[in-house]
Structures are given as structure tokens and as C-alpha cells.
Amino acid sequence: MRRKICVTGVFRKLFERTFARSAGNVSVSAGSYRNKQAAQKAGFFLLFCCILATLLFLGSIVYFIFAGGSKVVTWGFLTQWPRNAMTEGGIFPALLGTFYLTLGAVTVALPLGLACAVYLCEYTPGSLALNAIRIGINNLAGVPSVVFGLFGLAVFVKFFGFGVSVLSGSLTLGILILPGIISASQEALMAVPNSLREASFALGATRWQTIKKIVVPQALPGILTGVILSIGRAAGETAPILFTAAAFYTRRYPQSPFSEVMALPYHIYALMTEGTHPRQQTVIAYGSALVLLILVLLISGTAVFIRQRHRSYNG
């Protein structure tokens, strides 16, 4: 009850402050003034409810995952292999597999994406082709991830014959995160002031020297931010590795890029849909989900941190 009063109080203050600003140059009759006031109050109340609902969803996701998973997540959970048909033990091979897949994806996507971005920004400024390519890349970013999975299955697994493997999965995830890396890099490159390019050219530098020694180093923090966010995405996706890389269970560490691997998101999916001990498996699935959630949050947090630091340096 007390909370409710407090909320309305804050609410009224907010409302009054907003209204005070616009009141100065508008003269209205008392009646319509009261009507407007009521309408505004109702509007704010709706907005507040929306925020509350959003927070509620977010909070409950985190709560359920913590409640379900926090009991099993220990150091041993992170470092041990699964035991007893997945009903005990840890998730180490899945963590390792996710690490390999993500590393592979970035290895594929970073050079390709950076090269694309440099070409689009530094070599073909403002052309029609540029806009067409940009639209294409943005659309690629909107393709559902399961479609990337099917593409990976058709092209890397089947056509190139890489099989269900770290390699196929990395390539598929790499293509998935490519648009993100390209647009982050493009943004970072465009944020480099033109005056630096001109300073370099005026000293007799070629375009290539300018890009390599001035523009890209200056854009690096922005590019890195994009890469880290992509890592978070690649680590968390299930659909692209479903047909291309992931195994329910492997007995050994992956021996080569052509081995199939366990991976964290797929591990969760598998625990919930396959196996013979659903009750014990569910707890482990929650534990895995918690680990994945923390991992992705940590990774995104690092990106935010880098961006913030970079901003304060240049500001």
C-alpha cells in the first residue's frame, strides 16, 4: 500500500514538471485544462504499466533461471564431464565446444567483415552500389537463424563435405554474425574524423597506408565492441549449429576441426527434449542456462565497458 502511494507521488512530480514546461505559452480554459490533465495522467499511467510489465518479464526470466539453476552451478559443474546419462556431473565439453565454435566464427567473420566495411567506407564513398550492398547486408541481419542453419547444412555439411563438425558450425555462425560485424565496423570507420584522413593524405600517404595506420587503429575500439557483441550472439545461438556442428554427447574432446562437438545452447535443448531422466536433466539444463546467461551478460558487459572507456578518452 505504501509503495503504491510512493509511486503515485513520483508520478505526479514527473507529470507536473512536464506540464510546467508547456504551460507557459498556452492559455486554456479551466475545463479543458482539467481534461488535459486527466488525459495526461492516464497516459503516464499506461506508460508506467508498460515499463512495469517489461521489468516483470525480465525479472522473472532471471529469477526462474537462477532459482532452477543456482543449486547445481559449482566449480565442478563447469569443469567436469556429464555422468550417468547426463543426470549428474558437469558441462565442461559443452563449454569447450561453444568456445571452439565461437572462436571459429569470429576467425571467419572478423577479417571478412572488416574487409567489407573498409571497402564500403573507404573505397566507394556514396555510390549507388554502396547503398544496394548496405541494404543487402541489413537484410541478411534479419534472416532467421534457423535459415542459416539450413544453409550451413546444405553448403558446408553436404556440398563441401565438411560433415557435422566444428568447421561447418563455425562457418555457419560466422556468416550469421557477419552483418553485425560489418555494420559495427562501418560505423566505427565512419566515426573517424575526415580531418585525420586528410592529414595523412597531405603527407603523401596512399589510401592503403592511411587505412592501415590511421583509420583502422582509430576505429579499433568500435570494431572490437562489435566483435564482442557478436561473440555473445554466436555463443548463444542454437539453430545454426543444430544441423551443422552439435552433438548430444561426445565421449572425447574434439580431435580436429572435423569433429562434432557439444555446445552449451544445444546442450540445454537436448537435455530438455531427449534422454530418459527428464527430472534430473531439467535441473542440469537450468544450470547450463544460468551459465550461458552469465557468459553472454559478461561478454556484452565487456563491450559496454570498452565503448564507455573509449568515449571518455575521446570526449
200 binds other proteins per the rule CB under 8 A: yes
Judged by CB under 8 A, the residue of 193, 276, 279, 315 near other proteins is: 193
Instruction: Count other Cβ atoms within 10 Å, centred on residue 177.
Output: 29
In whole angstroms, how close is the CB of 128 to other proteins at the nearest point?
12
Alpha carbon 232 to its chain's center: 5
Counting residues that bind other proteins (by CB under 8 A) gives: 19
Of 56-64, 193-201, 233-241, 250-258, which part binds other proteins (CB under 8 A)?
193-201
**The dihedral formed by the CA atoms of 262, 291, 185 and 246, expressed in degrees to the nearest 10:** 10
Among residues 228, 222, 110, 229, the alpha carbon closest in space to that of 174 is found at 110
Amino acid in the structure at residue 245: A
Q: Compute the least distance from the CB of residue 126 to other proteins, in Å.
A: 5
- The C-alpha cell of 111 is what? 577479417
Q: Which residue has the cell 503516464?
A: 44
Among 35, 40, 206, 273, binds other proteins (CB under 8 A): 206
User: Which amino acid, residue 251?
Assistant: R
Select 5 or 203, whichever has its Cβ closest to other proteins: 203
Binding of other proteins at residue 195 (CB under 8 A)? yes
Q: Is 83 helix (H, G, I), strand (E, B) or coil?
A: strand
> Which lies closer to other proteins via its Cβ, residue 213 or residue 311?
213
Choosing from 17, 128, 203, 276, the residue that interacts with other proteins (CB under 8 A) is 203
The residues in 116-155 that bind other proteins, with binding defined as CB under 8 A, are: 125-127
Selected binder of other proteins within 42, 56, 115, 196 (CB under 8 A): 196
From 51-59, 212-220, 229-237, 271-279, give the range in contact with other proteins by CB under 8 A: 212-220
Q: 213, 304, 308, 311: which one contacts other proteins (CB under 8 A)? A: 213
Stretch that binds other proteins, among 10-18, 135-143, 164-172, 211-219 (CB under 8 A): 211-219
Say how far apart CA 52 and CA 56 lie, in whole Å: 6
Contact call for residues 263 and 103 (beta carbons, < 8 A): no
Distance CA 245, CA 206 (A): 43
In whole angstroms, how close is the CB of 225 to other proteins at the nearest point?
A: 17
Locate 57 and state its grid cell: 518479464
Pair 94, 263: CB distance under 8 Å: yes
Does residue 259 contact residue 166 with C-beta atoms inside 8 Å? yes
Assess 49 for contact with other proteins (CB under 8 A). no
Minimum separation from the CB atom of position 204 to other proteins (A): 3
Closer Cβ to other proteins, 105 or 120, answer by number: 120
CA distances from 222 to 36, 142, 244 (A): 45, 22, 31
CA neighbor of 89 nearest in space, from 295, 296, 267: 267
As measured in angstroms, the least distance from the Cβ of 202 to other proteins is: 4
Is 181:110 a contact under the CB 8 Å cutoff? yes
13 is a site residue for other proteins (CB under 8 A): no
User: Is residue 161 involved in binding other proteins (CB under 8 A)?
Assistant: no
- Minimum Å gap between C-beta 252 and other proteins is 49
Q: Which residues bind other proteins (CB under 8 A)?
A: 125-127, 193, 195-196, 198-206, 209, 213-214, 218
